[in-house]
Amino acid sequence: MDQDLKAMLESILLNQETFRNEANAKLDSITSQLDRMEAESNQDVIALLEVINGKLELTATKEDINFLAGKLGQHDLEIDRLKRVK
């Protein structure tokens, strides 16, 4: 009877150790995947900010040109173009 009980306890301890090892391995894998995702996410954010910055610069330039064109008036722009053609 004691031998059976001892064998059962050893089996339970072995199963518990196996479960703990498998759980630790899975946690390590998840941690590794999250680290990779975080690193890629930072790169994605930087790339997105660069694209937004480039588009803002283009948009600001077009708005500046339109503002100046409105101030100078269409006729002034035409006269200036003709002067530069000479």
**Per-residue pLDDT tens for 48-70?**
889 888 887 777 677 777 787 77
Packing angle of the helix pair 74-85, 2-72 (nearest 10 deg):
80
Residue 57 · residue 49 · CB < 8 Å: no
Residue with tokens 């500046």: 64
Residue 18 structural domain: 2-85
Please give the Cα distance from 19 to 25 (Å, whole number). Answer: 10
Mean pLDDT of the chain: 84
Residue 77 · residue 69 · CB < 8 Å: yes
Number of domains in the chain: 1
Query: What is the reported pTM?
Result: 0.46
